[in-house]
Structure 1
């Protein structure tokens, strides 16, 4: 039996009759909608704080809970993809995940809000299914680019909500809904769209180029449950998976954390207005439309030149660049230089994310879902740890600044608090940047066997490889 004979060898985006290309579009759109709903409440937080009476602590906790929920969902969904296929997993995730999004429009207390934020975070697991589905639809010569592009376009949802959700709210208000509750209706609409996308996913995609998992299992072309369990056990024992876990924590995790704190940092450090700072952060988030694709593209290019080792080398280099750019940015006091290095950080961190998932599909071809889930969870673990670190640093510095200036008037207290927050977060960014460089060095420990290199080289040359030649990890 031969494998990968029906996988797409190019990313012809207009060829929607092709199952891999159609799946690429549908999974990218589904991922976009999930991210849009996941972070949909962010533009409305001032309204939520006022409506529900959230304290600053509760506001921070809502952000952390949304990231925390995703960690567990990503770990689980990868194994489910390997067992049941991406089509059913995405369908159920979209439909069930839409429920807390809709319920957010009905919350009346801070506790209810926090619970909904926790469960809304589960739809962040959509990333794992997106990467899994794209990985098994595209051949090795293009899989890095396809993975990075689908993920990058999906990540746009996390930035597009800053524009899209206020537009939905404006449309709702035009129908006579009061401004102060428009956020509730907006979230319900976002949830309904996600639920509808679940139906689309079920009817217009299939698990693999050859067919759905249920069909392939009946034909004896899928591994048995025992082999599934053995494969998952081998994944947990593979050190390379855990290195990539750390690498993704150092890339996607840092992107989430830095962008989540950048609005306030730009205001406190460079004196920008909230609108200007918000627009800058939005523009960096929108770089996902091409930056992440570049990471996957160059990963594929280095793969053609230097084999699987070439993919790892590029990943290490771009990750090191990311860390250096964040470290230098943290020491910058000039707004011009600050924006320059922030752009460089945005470009390199998103390329590092794409490069990571140009390596993932080659670790263990029989457990791509499980590996994607573990590595994807690493991003959220990194975001959680970095957010907790910055929160503790900033909260302590601000508390001390307030205590030291209470007798000098409100203006003096605010100025001291702003300066303290800026200094604390700057120091935090510096240390985070150093940790990213360390992760880059760690990534070089990822090795591939000679057999893996040979099998991939044959596939890259479009020579069909017998399934037995791929071997087990």
Structure 2
């Protein structure tokens, strides 16, 4: 999609709710938040689900794997669909159709039905890709990294907000006379209905670009986007080595954030002898850093882009990835709670900044295939989460089994303590290995290059946006 630069927003004016770019920014951020809220909505209720449906530990773990697997598939295809049909229709249908398995999850009666619903609920994780495509089409080069990072960060909050939000919904449901045993079911149904209603809002209150929808522009002769052109764009994205480097990079930041976020509760309890509530609050604060950390990554990506061109964006991405790797490696070796929290905060800040910095580079790889590239890179995050989780699971399982076998003749309390210590040590070594891999991914990102023509185009965009910023009407 090619839009004139003057039509795109050149500032992120959060008080503006009337212009097409800013209205779209707000709506897509809220839609993303609701999708992540629903995607991870079952997490606070898993003990209830296990008890109600009689899930085995294997079935419980498989439900997590299926949710991630569904997202990988959906992210790979949704980007291409955005290039062809526009983000407005794609988001509308994702919300409408994605609400169905969320609602059905509240009606399941068997473990198999639950696993199937978890697979299809994972599809709404593709909302991230559409969010990035839509903001990329709405904002000019000087601010696109900041806009992408802010919308993604605020949307990601949904994955942490459900720890508070879902129990509150359940409490409200119980106050109306619903049994506490069934509260989790009603909570999911409500979350699904809200997603469905958001799909209607998205259809009527957003546009594909500042100039109009894809279908309208095509009818006016301003947009010719035939099937053949779409296929060429997607194939070009697949063949571009830079896309696959960014795939690995996003696996090394967003994928690792998901894995660390999912395993940190137990790690903090086992390593620092914290209560479940205290550990949960620390992890929740980790998620809340998305309010500003991703935005910082996009902001500095834009600033380095202005100073050093597209190469500057890459260099900042490399630097923040190296910091992320070092912070995680250091955190994994710490046994002091105060130092541990300090380095966990530093890791949280750097990993989320790396995510924002990644998508300050993505829009410049190939402007004819922004959707396809966003989809491939976005899928990398979930692949990284899956692989990192499998690494930690395998190391922990072996260590715990060995600890239990070694203490089989001891009392139950002794055996549990040995198991906890073994799990903590295994996860610690796993974090260290992952930190090394993140560091390597950062060095690999140095291989991302741009042509002289691409650099000149980006520089020209900055010149034009600087001129447009002198006119408030263009903001």
TM-score relative to the length of structure 2: 0.96
Taking the aligned partners of 2:83 and 2:282, their CA distance within structure 1 comes to: 39
Please give the residue correspondences for 1:67-78 in structure 2 after superposition, counting only pairs within 5 Å. 67-78=68-79
Equivalent position of 1:186 in the other structure: 187
Equivalent position of 1:323 in the other structure: 325
Deviation at 1:315, TM superposition (A): 0.3
Please give the residue correspondences for 1:42-441 in structure 2 after superposition, counting only pairs within 5 Å. 42-222=43-223, 223-441=225-443
Which piece of structure 1 moves more, 440-449 or 60-69? 60-69
Taking the aligned partners of 2:357 and 2:202, their CA distance within structure 1 comes to: 27
Deviation at 1:220, TM superposition (A): 2.6
Deviation at 1:219, TM superposition (A): 2.3
Deviation at 1:30, TM superposition (A): 0.1
Which piece of structure 1 moves more, 307-316 or 103-112? 103-112
Residues 3 and 211 in structure 2, CA contact (< 8 A), matched pair in contact too:
no
Deviation at 1:5, TM superposition (A): 2.3
Taking the aligned partners of 2:114 and 2:229, their CA distance within structure 1 comes to: 42
Taking the aligned partners of 2:200 and 2:266, their CA distance within structure 1 comes to: 39
Distance 1:106 1:338, change over 3 A: same
Which piece of structure 1 moves more, 62-71 or 26-35? 62-71
Deviation at 1:172, TM superposition (A): 0.2
Taking the aligned partners of 1:64 and 1:285, their CA distance within structure 2 comes to: 21
Residues 458 and 464 in structure 1, CA contact (< 8 A), matched pair in contact too:
no
Taking the aligned partners of 2:207 and 2:85, their CA distance within structure 1 comes to: 12
Taking the aligned partners of 1:56 and 1:230, their CA distance within structure 2 comes to: 45
SS of the equivalent of 2:335 reads coil
Taking the aligned partners of 1:147 and 1:161, their CA distance within structure 2 comes to: 23
- Deviating 4+ runs (over 3 angstroms): none
Equivalent position of 1:469 in the other structure: none
Taking the aligned partners of 1:148 and 1:21, their CA distance within structure 2 comes to: 14
Residues 113-162 of structure 1 deviation map (CA, whole Å, 9 limit, x = unaligned):
11111110000000000000000000000000000000000000001001
> Is there any run of 5+ residues in structure 1 with no aligned partner, and where?
466-473
Residues 3 and 464 in structure 1, CA contact (< 8 A), matched pair in contact too:
no
Taking the aligned partners of 1:109 and 1:100, their CA distance within structure 2 comes to: 15
Residues 328-378 of structure 1 deviation map (CA, whole Å, 9 limit, x = unaligned):
000011111111110000000000000000000000011100000000000
Deviation at 1:228, TM superposition (A): 1.6
Taking the aligned partners of 1:377 and 1:347, their CA distance within structure 2 comes to: 22
Deviation at 1:2, TM superposition (A): 7.1
SS of the equivalent of 2:368 reads coil
Taking the aligned partners of 2:119 and 2:60, their CA distance within structure 1 comes to: 13
Taking the aligned partners of 2:354 and 2:62, their CA distance within structure 1 comes to: 28
Distance 1:464 1:225, change over 3 A: farther
Deviation at 1:169, TM superposition (A): 0.4
Taking the aligned partners of 1:2 and 1:200, their CA distance within structure 2 comes to: 24
Taking the aligned partners of 2:351 and 2:395, their CA distance within structure 1 comes to: 23
Taking the aligned partners of 1:425 and 1:377, their CA distance within structure 2 comes to: 25
SS of the equivalent of 2:431 reads helix
Deviation at 1:464, TM superposition (A): 11
SS of the equivalent of 1:221 reads coil
Residues 5 and 464 in structure 1, CA contact (< 8 A), matched pair in contact too:
no
Equivalent position of 1:16 in the other structure: 17
Which piece of structure 1 moves more, 50-59 or 287-296? 50-59
Residues 4 and 464 in structure 1, CA contact (< 8 A), matched pair in contact too:
no
Residues 62 and 114 in structure 1, CA contact (< 8 A), matched pair in contact too:
yes
Taking the aligned partners of 1:111 and 1:230, their CA distance within structure 2 comes to: 40
Distance 1:48 1:463, change over 3 A: closer
Deviation at 1:3, TM superposition (A): 2.5
Residues 297 and 353 in structure 2, CA contact (< 8 A), matched pair in contact too:
yes
Deviation at 1:463, TM superposition (A): 6.5
SS of the equivalent of 1:462 reads helix
Residues 67 and 121 in structure 1, CA contact (< 8 A), matched pair in contact too:
yes
Residues 263 and 274 in structure 1, CA contact (< 8 A), matched pair in contact too:
yes
Residues 367-390 of structure 1 deviation map (CA, whole Å, 9 limit, x = unaligned):
100000000000000001111111
Which piece of structure 1 moves more, 3-12 or 307-316? 3-12
Residues 104 and 117 in structure 2, CA contact (< 8 A), matched pair in contact too:
yes
TM-score relative to the length of structure 1: 0.97
Residues 2 and 464 in structure 1, CA contact (< 8 A), matched pair in contact too:
no
